[in-house]
Chain A
Amino acid sequence: MSAVIVLEDGLVLPARAAGARGTALGEMVFTTGMIGYQEAVTDPSYMGQILTFSAPMIGNYGTGDRCLESPRVWPEAVIATRIGDSPGVAGGTGFRSWLIAQGVVAVEDADTRRLVRHLRDNGAMRGGVSTEMGAEELLALVREHPSLDGRDLASEAAGVARTLGDDGPRIVAVDCGMKEGILRGLAGAGMRVEVVPAGITADEILALGPDGVFISNGPGDPAAVTPVIEAVRGVLGQVPLFGICLGHQMLAHALGLRTEKLPFGHRGANHPVQRAEDGVVEITVQNHGYAVAADSLPDGVQVTRTSLFDGSVEGLAAPELLAASVQYHPEARPGPHDAAYLFRSFRDRVVA
């Protein structure tokens, strides 16, 4: 069954239906990660977006619980060259069948390379995918669809309150759309984690008596997530704080920095990031469309990590305020584990 992909600037690409039937609208983004398709589509940071895989073939090894980063699929639609339905070694559901069961619009046989090149050259933009309407009709809908810019999606993406770990310092983790891997990373480093949904205030956090505070990843425009920024501002300096991805951007805003939209985002599992302290390069997992602007660094705030792809800010520290953050994903899932030590570093700061 034929399908169509359109971008707001009028680019139209043919495709074939490979998931649920229907129409989906969102910000068109691409990831260059080659494996971990199920982890990717269950990452809440993809909320409101249409996710294109540049990987040649996905869906090769089925689905399974160990590949879930949250209970549901977040992108509005999935685009790939080929979406397979192999049952996988453990005999689990095929990825294509699973997407259908989840009601996710997905298309294959799409020229994903052309799409990637277009976004690379023309910047992030809205798009649509449909198995039921023509390109013109879809384009009209795409152009009416609200942009992600200026939208706070953190509380919508947050999961339920929950805890993990039964030993070690007590961490309050503010869930802005937190990946399961982060929760496991914190607990795995020897911390008791209490997950609270975005929207919680600084006073409410401090009332829980945490040894440390963690701010998670999540979707949307960081500048718009003012409740979390306020909460971070309120706890700064009181207890050690660590932020990942959106959490890093929340810290930046709380410190008086600003965020800006990247031309086409960083999404993949091969991003080199250099540490300021020793020059070592970590291969990192990234998923962000905005980055912290380093133009007006306040006193006491350091850029600790830098992207070797485009020089953008990948880490911040405000030692006096007991705060540090990274733009990338130390929990990986999917991707290399080079940065996994960051959970232990956080624990070390908390117990110090």
Chain B
Amino acid sequence: MPARTDLKTIMVLGSGPIIIGQAGEFDYSGTQGCRALRDEGYRVVLVNSNPATIMTDPGVADRTYIEPLDVASAESIIIRERPDAILPTLGGQTALNLAIDLAKAGVLARHGVELIGADVDVIECAEDRDLFKKRMREVGVPVLDSRIATTLDEARAAALELGYPIILRPAFTLGGEGGGVALTPDDLEVVATNALAASPISQVLMERSVTGWDEIELEVVRDRNDNAVIVCTIENLDPMGVHTGDSVTVAPAMTLDDHEQQMLRDAAIQVVRAVGVETGGANVQFALNRATGDMVVIEMNPRVSRSSALASKATGFPIARIAARLAIGYTLDELPNDITAVTPASFEPTLDYVAVKVPRFAFEKLTEARVPLSTFMQSVGEVLALGRTFGEAFGKAMSARELDARLDEPTSVADALERLEKPSWDRFDLMLWAARRGASAEDLHAATGVHRWFTHEIVALAQAGEDLPDSLDAIDADLMLEARRTGLTDRDIAARTQTTEVEVGDHRRALGVRPSYRQVDTCAAEFAAVTPYFYGTYGTEGEVTPLGKPSVVVLGSGPNRIGQGIEFDYCCVHAAMTAQDLGYAAIMINCNPETVSTDHGVSDRLYMEPVTIDAVLDICEAERPVGVIAQLGGQTPLRLARPLSERGIPVLGTSPDQIDMAEDRGRFGALLGDLGLKAPPWAMAEGEADLLAAAEQVGYPALVRPSYVLGGRAMAIVSGPDELKAWLVKERPHGLVMVDRFLAGAVEIDVDALSDGDDTWIAGVMEHVEEAGVHSGDSACVLPPQGMTPESVADVRRQAAMLAEAIGVRGLLNVQFALRDGTAYVIEANPRASRTVPFVAKATGVPIVHHAVRLMLGERIADLGLPVGNPMTHVAVKEAVLPFARFPWADPVLGPEMRSTGEVMGIGDTFTEAFAKAQRGARQALPRSGTVFLSVRDEDKPKLAALAARIIEAGFDIVATGGSARIIAAAGLPVREVNKVADGPPHVADLILGGEVAMVVCTPSGRGDRADGATIRRAAVRAGVPCITTMEAADAASQSLGVDPARVVPVALQDLVTS
């Protein structure tokens, strides 16, 4: 059946900000979907609150709304754009939930809009655990014995019937958020309370635990003619009990025999049919008991997912693109397999390589949130590596994680094995560590439950490292080749030989041991492939042919992590597009399967390889590009600029030496001095005594951080020597520590600029909402600035231009300033894309990265036709989205260390409107009535009465504890006083958890009284009410409290683009 002609306009729902459990994979699938629909001639209307995405580029859809993903906003867009249908299956759980909300609110019926891809019945059957199990039982697919609980009492009763251990899963949440395992009745009290609170419908599924069973996922695609194919079977190394997003996974399945594989395949297709997924992709998860052969279906998602993105990258089969086309009426046999162009999409990919996914955690940044891995997802990103064997793929994937944290070394093998009993984020590092010291495959299996076949492979990999000579010179070509084929990377060999990765790489290349590159072709070479998607492997014939024109290599940003997210992927994708526009072949190197950059349709050639010097240098030597772009992928590629350049690979744009001029504090300080620019006093020192002296000289409060850090890792503000000492004990920084005087009360300003070294164009001046001291990535910011004088704006523009030209920037520069009493102090300058680049591009309509790449390739600012002056007639606010809902035991305060995982944007005619939209987008929708709780630290108290007055004026009641209540009352304002937590119940946290508070403002004091504030803030996160932790954000919020979402006008980017 061909595409439907009764549909003209299709609305696509995105997934909103990046959060744990819902990341860039939905930018990948949404972008693919929008393009597929437009190619078919439909008018596409896109809604997504996340500006750091490719899908929200004005060219991807016909109408692009960076607006909150809620009913009010969606309905107003529906009224304006009159879509015939909504496709909700490409935007993750967020989009599915919104589709259901729209249906329930009568919006779809009211405006005659059809859901395509999955209808309400399908979504509810898949999402409502009870309904799902009932349907499964009807068709004879085994499910777990389970009970539904909606109250704690029901949970207790159900537990008696089921017996422990019990898994609890809240209904309608992402990535298992709020779930957990209860081993005892005591556990149950805690886990059930959290789970009930996490579910928007207070419904929790309690299941007999299958912890320890093997977990296997199948990616199914089905069309309206009932053709169903399994695109990929993904085997989890971590057994049941660890969320699949946190598991190491492998495709194809390694340990299943045909009997098991076909049992799962039959069941998966049966599940998809029974739930009623008519068209599109679905993910079905199974638990398999290998000893008894028992199998149960755990869950299914009637939409594309993180796993489907992984499956697409692992096999080359573009699930989202196919799913979008199936939703509009095609059948699988009518669609071509893009990779072969001659065979249809109605087949099952077959692999002649192994694909291993390894999760990337951020516990070096969320230290207090660290708990054993469980049924709710905790990782923030992932890497994919391909190899001819499991060992090769696994070794590459482990190296591609780019860990900032060092393994906390066990004291003995026994200690390691004991630690392995509880699944931890570093369990595979621990397994390798123990295997190097003699732990057997059986030991590792016994401790972790990981299938023996995998522990055997891990031991073999560890042993291969131990078998190598410990001197690099003693490793000849044969040994080197064997080591690399086994799966050891240059970094592993460096660790063995006490050398560096770069030294091993130089030695290896001198021996003539280089990888060859093989095609990912969905068909194990049975058909000639036309799509240039490659991975490296050792010791075999290569398949890369000359490109026939000059090429540019774009280095991606590796796994998502806090501080380096998809905003850099956005930049890399734009770089590839621009290189192509300019007549170059674009070559992409990245290992992150969740991204648009690793869509093989984005570049002329994609290498799914670690962004390490090991892999990148070999590719560059094979491809001989005109140059490498290293300034768009964050710190990851920037670190490679110098070693690449030293080995004769041209780095485009700002040179490594110029980058160093900005990054080396000594050189940068001297540069500022020469230019006559002000900076806070600073010093660098190593060791406690020298550091204390340095801090004394700089003056307190001081900002301390290890040199060369990402996203403010381990950064802190210390108010005196005692806090500095405590910080040293906690962080154990290696090497030099930087100490800056902290300018309390300053406003932080971010400037993004383009420069050719002689001439500079300021792309955006952003004013932060939170004061300096909150990491810029965690702070809301506004464009154009609202509180700066024209003189200050002109001053920071002038200073940024001076810096760009003095450094000799060719491409992008980001400068951060602290503005206090009209004086701008330079905090830092980064000659690379900043995380605000996509926000600035969306807000101003200027494709900054496009221009930056043209500058890198030799054009001048004057050639680019950039707009003069500031054409913005609207206000754009960027708000950070924090992961605390996932870690309810952590204190959700902001500080110098970045902790947000994503961002949203709000666009409006005024700051208040834009800010209110941004808060809604960040799922912190400001209340329109009710009670606001206020508790502020002493420094903020002078501003408290004014804040309270504005809140009361907006029609709210106020409650406050002791000191704050007295100040408000003294100002003659009505306030109700409540107990502090320490005063005993009923206290403020009870009030919040009881649903009596609509918004919390609780600013953390530097000292004392911490526990109370933390309890209050945690209660707010648990209760799901907006929790504001800085005075500046509270001020902004108080202005936006009265904004009625229904009366805010949605803004399409296409209406803003000026030029």
Using CB atoms and an 8 Å cutoff, list the residues of chain A in contact with chain B.
32-36, 39, 54-57, 60-61, 64, 66-67, 81-82, 84, 86, 88-89, 111-114, 116-117, 120, 268-272, 274, 278-281, 283, 308-309, 332-337
Measured CB to CB, the closest approach of chain B to A57, in angstroms, equals: 6
Measured CB to CB, the closest approach of chain B to A339, in angstroms, equals: 12
13 contacts across the A-B interface (CB closer than 8 A): A36-B257, A57-B254, A67-B258, A86-B452, A116-B524, A120-B527, A268-B350, A270-B349, A272-B333, A308-B344, A309-B527, A334-B258, A336-B262
Q: Which residue of B lies closest to A309 (CB)?
A: B343
What is the bound-complex CA distance between A278 and B524, given in angstroms? 30
B347 partner, pick from A84, A278, A283, A335, beta carbons under 8 A: A283
**Segment of B222-230, B802-810, B861-869 in the binding face:** B222-230
A86 partner, pick from B344, B456, B526, beta carbons under 8 A: B456
> Do B253 and A35 touch (CB < 8 A)?
yes
Q: A32-B526, A60-B254, A61-B453 are in contact. Are A271 and B351 (CB under 8 A)?
A: no
Chain A residues contacting B524 (CB-CB under 8 Å) are 32, 54-55, 113, 116, 268
Interface string of B247-265 (1 = CB under 8 A from A): 0000011111111011001
B525 partner, pick from A36, A113, A336, beta carbons under 8 A: A113
Residue B266 interfacial (CB < 8 Å)? yes
Chain B residues contacting A337 (CB-CB under 8 Å) are 262, 265-266
Chain B residues contacting A269 (CB-CB under 8 Å) are 348, 350
Q: A268-B526, A281-B333 are in contact. Are A60 and B255 (CB under 8 A)?
A: yes
CB contacts under 8 Å to A, within B500-551, are 518, 523-528, 540-541
Range of interface residues on B (Cβ < 8 Å):
35 or more
Measured CB to CB, the closest approach of chain B to A271, in angstroms, equals: 7
> Do A111 and B540 touch (CB < 8 A)?
yes
Measured CB to CB, the closest approach of chain B to A117, in angstroms, equals: 5
Q: 7 tightest A-B contacts by CB?
A: A334-B258, A36-B258, A54-B524, A270-B348, A116-B525, A281-B346, A32-B524
Measured CB to CB, the closest approach of chain A to B843, in angstroms, equals: 47
Chain B residues contacting A333 (CB-CB under 8 Å) are 258
> Do B389 and A308 touch (CB < 8 A)?
no
What is the bound-complex CA distance between A44 and B290, given in angstroms? 30
B252 partner, pick from A34, A113, A114, beta carbons under 8 A: A34
Chain A residues contacting B348 (CB-CB under 8 Å) are 269-270, 283, 336
Residue B291 interfacial (CB < 8 Å)? yes
Chain A residues contacting B541 (CB-CB under 8 Å) are 111, 113-114
Chain B residues contacting A270 (CB-CB under 8 Å) are 347-350, 523
Residue B130 interfacial (CB < 8 Å)? no
Measured CB to CB, the closest approach of chain B to A175, in angstroms, equals: 22
> Do A272 and B344 touch (CB < 8 A)?
yes
> Do B227 and A332 touch (CB < 8 A)?
no
A113 partner, pick from B229, B389, B518, beta carbons under 8 A: B518
Measured CB to CB, the closest approach of chain B to A83, in angstroms, equals: 12
> Do B229 and A55 touch (CB < 8 A)?
no
Chain A residues contacting B347 (CB-CB under 8 Å) are 270-272, 283, 308-309
> Do B388 and A81 touch (CB < 8 A)?
yes
B227 partner, pick from A56, A111, A280, A335, beta carbons under 8 A: A280
Most chain A C-beta atoms within 10 Å of own C-beta, residue among B258, B344, B350: B258
Chain A residues contacting B261 (CB-CB under 8 Å) are 35-36, 334
Chain B residues contacting A32 (CB-CB under 8 Å) are 350, 352, 523-524, 526
Measured CB to CB, the closest approach of chain B to A39, in angstroms, equals: 6
Interface residues of A: mostly helix, strand, loop or mixed? loop
Chain B residues contacting A114 (CB-CB under 8 Å) are 540-541
Chain A residues contacting B255 (CB-CB under 8 Å) are 60-61
Measured CB to CB, the closest approach of chain A to B1033, in angstroms, equals: 52
> Do A120 and B452 touch (CB < 8 A)?
no
Chain A residues contacting B225 (CB-CB under 8 Å) are 278-281
Residue B390 interfacial (CB < 8 Å)? yes
What is the bound-complex CA distance between A111 and B543, given in angstroms? 13
What is the bound-complex CA distance between A291 and B528, given in angstroms? 21
> Do A279 and B331 touch (CB < 8 A)?
yes
> Do A112 and B352 touch (CB < 8 A)?
yes
> Do B256 and A61 touch (CB < 8 A)?
yes
> Do B256 and A56 touch (CB < 8 A)?
no
What is the bound-complex CA distance between A86 and B290, given in angstroms? 15
Q: Which residue of B lies closest to A66 (CB)?
A: B259
Measured CB to CB, the closest approach of chain B to A84, in angstroms, equals: 8
What is the bound-complex CA distance between A268 and B525, given in angstroms? 12
CB contacts under 8 Å to A, within B65-107, are none
What is the bound-complex CA distance between A36 and B348, given in angstroms? 16
Chain A residues contacting B526 (CB-CB under 8 Å) are 32, 54, 116, 120, 268
Q: A86-B456, A281-B333 are in contact. Are A117 and B525 (CB under 8 A)?
A: yes
Interface string of B384-410 (1 = CB under 8 A from A): 000011100000000000000000000
Residue B353 interfacial (CB < 8 Å)? yes
> Do A57 and B389 touch (CB < 8 A)?
yes
CB contacts under 8 Å to A, within B283-310, are 290-291
Measured CB to CB, the closest approach of chain A to B338, in angstroms, equals: 15
Chain B residues contacting A35 (CB-CB under 8 Å) are 252-253, 256-258, 261
Residue B638 interfacial (CB < 8 Å)? no
What is the bound-complex CA distance between A31 and B81, given in angstroms? 52
Chain A residues contacting B229 (CB-CB under 8 Å) are 283
Residue B328 interfacial (CB < 8 Å)? no
Interface string of B322-339 (1 = CB under 8 A from A): 000000000111000000
Chain B residues contacting A64 (CB-CB under 8 Å) are 257
Chain A residues contacting B257 (CB-CB under 8 Å) are 35-36, 61, 64, 66-67, 88
> Do B354 and A57 touch (CB < 8 A)?
yes
Q: A35-B261, A56-B388, A283-B347 are in contact. Are A116 and B331 (CB under 8 A)?
A: no
CB contacts under 8 Å to A, within B418-456, are 452-453, 456
Q: Which residue of B lies closest to A111 (CB)?
A: B540
Chain B residues contacting A55 (CB-CB under 8 Å) are 252, 350-352, 524
> Do A335 and B258 touch (CB < 8 A)?
yes
Q: Which residue of A lies closest to B523 (CB)?
A: A32
What is the bound-complex CA distance between A270 and B229, given in angstroms? 9
What is the bound-complex CA distance between A34 and B232, given in angstroms? 11
Chain A residues contacting B343 (CB-CB under 8 Å) are 272, 308-309
Q: A86-B456, A336-B262 are in contact. Are A33 and B350 (CB under 8 A)?
A: yes
What is the bound-complex CA distance between A180 and B895, given in angstroms? 68
Most chain A C-beta atoms within 10 Å of own C-beta, residue among B225, B229, B348: B348
What is the bound-complex CA distance between A36 and B260, given in angstroms? 10
Q: Which residue of A lies closest to B333 (CB)?
A: A281
> Do A116 and B333 touch (CB < 8 A)?
no
> Do A56 and B453 touch (CB < 8 A)?
no
What is the bound-complex CA distance between A308 and B541, given in angstroms? 30
Interface string of B907-943 (1 = CB under 8 A from A): 0000000000000000000000000000000000000
What is the bound-complex CA distance between A279 and B223, given in angstroms? 12
What is the bound-complex CA distance between A185 and B343, given in angstroms? 30
What is the bound-complex CA distance between A195 and B771, given in angstroms? 85
> Do B291 and A113 touch (CB < 8 A)?
no
Q: A33-B350, A56-B389, A116-B526 are in contact. Are A89 and B262 (CB under 8 A)?
A: no
Chain B residues contacting A279 (CB-CB under 8 Å) are 225, 331, 333
What is the bound-complex CA distance between A56 and B252, given in angstroms? 9
What is the bound-complex CA distance between A256 and B832, given in angstroms? 73
CB contacts under 8 Å to A, within B335-384, are 343-344, 346-354
Chain B residues contacting A335 (CB-CB under 8 Å) are 258, 262
What is the bound-complex CA distance between A117 and B258, given in angstroms? 26
> Do A272 and B346 touch (CB < 8 A)?
yes
Chain B residues contacting A336 (CB-CB under 8 Å) are 230, 262, 265, 348
What is the bound-complex CA distance between A349 and B348, given in angstroms? 31
What is the bound-complex CA distance between A281 and B332, given in angstroms? 9
What is the bound-complex CA distance between A332 and B348, given in angstroms? 15
> Do B266 and A34 touch (CB < 8 A)?
no
Interface string of B24-52 (1 = CB under 8 A from A): 00000000000000000000000000000
What is the bound-complex CA distance between A35 and B388, given in angstroms? 16
What is the bound-complex CA distance between A346 and B346, given in angstroms? 26
What is the bound-complex CA distance between A261 and B266, given in angstroms? 33
Chain A residues contacting B230 (CB-CB under 8 Å) are 283, 336
